[in-house]
Amino acid sequence: MRKVSILIFVIVFLLPVCGVFARGGGEKSGSGKLSTINVAVPALSETLNPASATTSVSMYRVGSNIFNNLIEYDFKNDKGLLPSLAESWKQIDGKTLEVYLRKGVKFHNGDELTSEDVAFTFEKIWDPVIGSKSVAGQWSLFDKVEIIDKYTVRFHTKKTDPVMINRLSLPGFQIINKRALKEAKSVEDWSFKPVGTGPFKVISYNSADKLVLEAHKEYWGGKPHADELIFRRIPEVAARIAGLKAGDFQVISDVPTDQIKTIEADKNLIVVGGTSASFIAVYFNMHKPYFDVHLRQAMSLAVDRELLNKTLFSGRTRVPNGLQDPGYGPMFVKEHPYPKFDLNKAKELVAKSKYNGEAINYFSFNNSYPNEVDVAQAMVAMWRVAGINVELEVKESGSMVNMEGPDKIRILAMRNTSHTDLYGDPSGCLWRTYTPQYDAQRYYNWKGPDVDEFNKLGEILDSSIDQKERYNSAKRMLEIFDANPPAIILYQNVVFAGKRKDLNWSAYKQVYMYFGPENFKQ
């Protein structure tokens, strides 16, 4: 705490002199309204291409301001699936969904949204240059988009798909402008200034500094209430808080729970948000020979999750019983056990494992998630008590975390990640984030007969219209996950944002930081 206090002192008193934060943000126009909103975030995505950055929390934060989906999941008022660029839709059969587009929707370049843009978007998701296997893997049953007329498309799947409508709300399936990509000098140029239909358009972008957005005055949902929206990369929590207090920022993301009282001590500020539909986890790189099932089970048993919640989150988060959320309704497996803390059992399993005391390198981002480094340090201490030597290395970027060796295998042994439940169904989290196309199987060597069974059950979850069969599949998948853990599921993420009290903006039950006219008013 002494280091943090000193850092806050330096930031508050020296930065205004040095001019580190650009002044003029949040200026009021002649009408007395804020013309510019400055938002401080810990990191910015390395690209603004929704088809390749969808697994990035940094992209989740900003993407909904630039792009729209055909259908959106309501993380503000819990109303489920809502029309967005799709005015309505009709399920023709288990493999066919007909979607009717809003007419008159304008892209940032003035083009009208048509079926051509929708078909082009989904074509490019499966293009290896523009899309990614992670995004494509989120809809493995996808077959094609059929253009019916200028404002009507049909989505076809290879098999019956019980959550076809839900998938259209995934961030990776945000609609892009066909002409803008075709006319761009390169995919890289386009990825730093893409054209969407959202309430704000991209003016400039530097992932190491800031994203500058300008109001899209022809936005189909109404003109935004600010002329300019700027997301600034400020990795240090203390710097974000100091900037909020000084008026450099109107909103800051990722407020740690132990700093809520510090912020709210200022009568002009408030902290909003709470537990989100996202799960914090630690991946195992099972290419490392010591990571047999015994060591992985031991590392999970050695973590006292409730103590982490109590001491680092003031009891404000939730330890889940498996990678699932009560919001699943009838698909929630209530009887699935909560993770245990059993130090003696952990030590027994370490003794049975192939582990011989090697130093295990654990890569963490620099607080991309709330209290990330503090949690990592606490777990390192817990693992050492169990006889496991873990060495924490804090990295500043995804490319540093995911560095590969000469054998093209990532050099990390463990890394932090988050699994986001994007549409209220186990297929949207448990299966979506552990398919063969996703990190655990694709990069970290999670395999075995039980993983083969997991994959077959996932396909049933993806394609069956029998709810009992889907429920039983999800139940068994949770059991496999616990018995042969590819990761440690820790707790549900908390999303706390600090803001000015007089700012009429709401935090979502998700990491999205949306400033469209429906959510920011003045």
Per-residue pLDDT, averaged over 159-179, amounts to 93
What string of DSSP letters covers 234-249?
---HHHHHHHHHHTS-
- At 453-462, the pLDDT tens digits run 999 999 999 8
Q: Residue 262: its pLDDT value, please? A: 94
Helix (H, G, I), strand (E, B) or coil at 372: helix
Q: Tell me: pLDDT of 96 over 50.
A: yes
Rg, Å, the chain Cα set: 23
Q: Residue 316: its pLDDT value, please? A: 86
Q: Residue 122: its pLDDT value, please? A: 95
Order the strands of the 251-252 sheet from edge to edge. Answer: 200-206, 210-215, 228-233, 36-41, 251-252, 487-500, 269-284, 414-420, 360-365, 390-395
Q: Which of 88-102, 127-141, 265-279 has the lowest average pLDDT?
A: 127-141
Q: Residue 270: its pLDDT value, please? A: 97
Helix (H, G, I), strand (E, B) or coil at 168: coil
- Per-residue pLDDT band for 276 (boundaries 50, 70, 90) equals confident
- Per-residue pLDDT band for 507 (boundaries 50, 70, 90) equals very high
Per-residue pLDDT, averaged over 136-165, amounts to 93
For 221-259, letters b (16+ CB in 10 Å) and e give beebbbbbbbbbbbebbbbbbbbbbeebbbbbbbbbbbb
What string of DSSP letters covers 115-139?
HHHHHHHHHHHT-TTTS-HHHHGGG
Burial class, 447, CB count within 10 angstroms (exposed 0-12 / middle 13-18 / buried 19+): middle
Q: Please name the helix (run of DSSP H) or strand (run of DSSP E) that holds residue 211, with its range, or none.
A: strand 210-215
Chain-centre distance of CA 460, in angstroms? 25
Q: Residue 323: its pLDDT value, please? A: 96
Q: Residue 30: its pLDDT value, please? A: 56
- Single-letter residue type at 43: A
Q: Residue 54: its pLDDT value, please? A: 54
Helix (H, G, I), strand (E, B) or coil at 497: strand
Higher pLDDT, 376 or 126: 376
Q: Residue 78: its pLDDT value, please? A: 77
- Cβ–Cβ under 8 Å, residues 204 and 212: yes
Q: Residue 57: its pLDDT value, please? A: 82
- Cβ–Cβ under 8 Å, residues 171 and 422: yes
Per-residue pLDDT, averaged over 35-39, amounts to 97
Task: Supply 116's token pair.
Answer: 């051509």
Q: Residue 371: its pLDDT value, please? A: 87
- At 291-317, the pLDDT tens digits run 999 999 999 999 999 999 999 998 889
Q: Residue 329: its pLDDT value, please? A: 84
Per-residue pLDDT, averaged over 474-495, amounts to 96
Q: Residue 26: its pLDDT value, please? A: 58
Taking the whole predicted model, whether its pTM rises above 0.85 is answered as no
